[in-house]
Chain A
Amino acid sequence: MDRSEMVEIVLDAVRIEMEAVAEPTNFSGDIDEATPLLGEGAPIDSLGLVSVIVQVEESLRCVDGIDVTLVDEKAMSQRNSPFRSVGALSTYAMECAAAAQQAV
């Protein structure tokens, strides 16, 4: 899997969550790699981020057969959260997927 495919998986997860939210957010415009997933300017709230992470894990497992856990001690201890933006999450998910495939 290349990076652009991973970015698409993350973007799809964010779009699914945005559609699932009953209350429309203040967010307007397109989402891309620079879109924040945390704090001000994010198109989803903290509960939405939980759903996005679960959805990305599910997509990796169902579509690519890669069993990853994105939230672990390593993720939580990073100076810059790997969940801060679509791009950061994509990069981190690539690292996790590569590690999971090596472990098999």
Chain B
Amino acid sequence: MSVEQEVVLITGTRKGIGKALVEHFVSRGALVEGCSRQQPDWELEGYHHHQADVLDEVQVRAMMRSISDRHGRLDVLVNNAGIASMNHSLLMPVETASRILETNVLGVFLVSREAARLMKRNKYGRIVNLGSVAAQLRIEGEAMYAASKSALLSFSQVFAREVAPYGITCNVVAPTPVETDLIKSVPQDKIDRLVAALAIKRLGTFDDVSNAVEFFASPRSDYITGQVLYLGGA
């Protein structure tokens, strides 16, 4: 990679882990682009927001075109956008199940596909997908969410092989629950059981996640691809 300012795209930046990742990459001097379906209620110097849905091909392509026109390249993609819905499978509406799979799998595929095309030009790229320990811990009530994150792992590992010839790596960071809106509807006893199943018995922090993302996003991690890093010792 050249010594130019790194260009980073993060999806799902309006709040939570996405917003924290924006702050992390901006603080270390990157040019950060991000997207969410709605406008965020915050601004940050060094950050450019796109109002785009990761499932909308036209919007995703327009976002990549904008990044290409303004920066001419993309170095890092963090696929953070995702949704969860805690519900027993027997009570899960099919519309909700479909929405989880579409956002967490198809959305990642679509953004990764378009990003890799842009990264390919410079024969350099780092893609980091946000998985979840839910795929590993098999918590009841998270069947579709865990299934979507398992699909994300398989996708990431195959995609990693497909884009390796272009100098692009693709890895997964699988966080434990972090205090975000995503888990605010999860009953406390479920959270307690999940934490109890970890080697390190506490909720994750934004810093835990950005540290792991940073590792895979580093230019030095050019010999690491198709890997999954579970936080908390899951």
Q: Does B99 lie at the interface of the complex (its beta carbon under 8 Å from any beta carbon of A)?
A: no
- Check if B61 sits within 8 Å of A54, measured CB to CB: no
Please tell me which one of the listed residues A47, A51, A58, A67 contacts residue B61 in the complex, with CB atoms under 8 A apart.
A67
**Interface 1/0 per residue, A46-63 and B, CB below 8 Å:** 010001001000100100
Bound: A93/B185 CA distance, A: 50
Q: Does B117 lie at the interface of the complex (its beta carbon under 8 Å from any beta carbon of A)?
A: yes
Q: How large is the interface on B (under 10, 10 to 19, 20 to 34, 35 or more residues)?
A: under 10
- Check if B165 sits within 8 Å of A54, measured CB to CB: no
Q: Does B120 lie at the interface of the complex (its beta carbon under 8 Å from any beta carbon of A)?
A: yes
Bound: A51/B119 CA distance, A: 12
Give the residues in chain A near B120, CB-CB below 8 Å: 51, 54
Give the residues in chain B near A47, CB-CB below 8 Å: 165
- Check if A58 sits within 8 Å of B117, measured CB to CB: yes
Q: How large is the interface on A (under 10, 10 to 19, 20 to 34, 35 or more residues)?
A: under 10
Give the residues in chain A near B117, CB-CB below 8 Å: 54, 58
Among B47-67, those with CB < 8 Å from A are 61, 65
Bound: A54/B120 CA distance, A: 10
**Interface 1/0 per residue, B27-42 and A, CB below 8 Å:** 0000000000000000
Give the residues in chain B near A51, CB-CB below 8 Å: 120
Bound: A61/B64 CA distance, A: 12
Bound: A89/B102 CA distance, A: 32
Bound: A67/B60 CA distance, A: 13
B residues in contact (CB < 8 Å) with A:
61, 65, 117, 120-121, 165
A residues in contact (CB < 8 Å) with B:
47, 51, 54, 58, 61, 67
